[in-house]
Amino acid sequence: DVKVTQSSRYLVKRTGEKVFLECVQDMDHENMFWYRQDPGLGLRLIYFSYDVKMKEKGDIPEGYSVSREKKERFSLILESASTNQTSMYLCASSLWGDNQPQHFGDGTRLSIL
């Protein structure tokens, strides 16, 4: 079974802090993704990566950056956290290929105070 592990289930940070969300997958998947989930908006793609050190912006990259130094690990960084970044963050991974499904972690619920 594919395992996608997000480092924290719940996280509380303060406005202006630099926040790191970590994601690790154990199935040697090429692709990794970061989404945020908000009620009524579904999932929106922040960034994705198709290889080590490679990244592409998703639909809502503003205020975020990512790092992929190793194939199994994909980090999401909030450079200076703001209250409008309070959300559920989901990490996913997949094999390369159009019909390959994405496998999701359990999510990190982030609150910015």
Sorted by sequence, the CB contacts under 8 Å of residue 15 that are 6+ apart come out as: 81, 82, 83, 112, 113
Distance, in Å, from the CA atom of 75 to the CA atom of 65, rounded to the nearest integer, reads 8
**Which residue stretch of 13-21, 30-38, 62-70, 79-87 sits at the interface with another protein (rule: CB under 8 A)?**
30-38
| From 7, 8, 13, 58, residue interacting with another protein (rule: CB under 8 A) | 58
Query: What is d(CA 5, CA 24) in angstroms, rounded to the nearest whole number?
Result: 5
Considering the complex, what minimum distance in angstroms separates the CB of residue 62 from another protein? 17
| 112 belongs to the binding site for another protein (CB under 8 A) | no
Choose the stretch contacting another protein; rule: CB under 8 A; options: 12-20, 60-68, 72-80, 104-112.
104-112
SS3 helix, strand, coil % of the chain, rounded to 5?
5, 55, 40
Rg of the chain in Å (alpha carbons): 13
Binding segment for another protein (CB under 8 A), chosen from 11-19, 36-44, 66-74, 78-86, is: 36-44
Minimum CB distance to another protein smaller for 75 or for 108: 108
User: For another protein, which residue of 92, 93, 110, 112 counts as binding (CB under 8 A)?
Assistant: 92
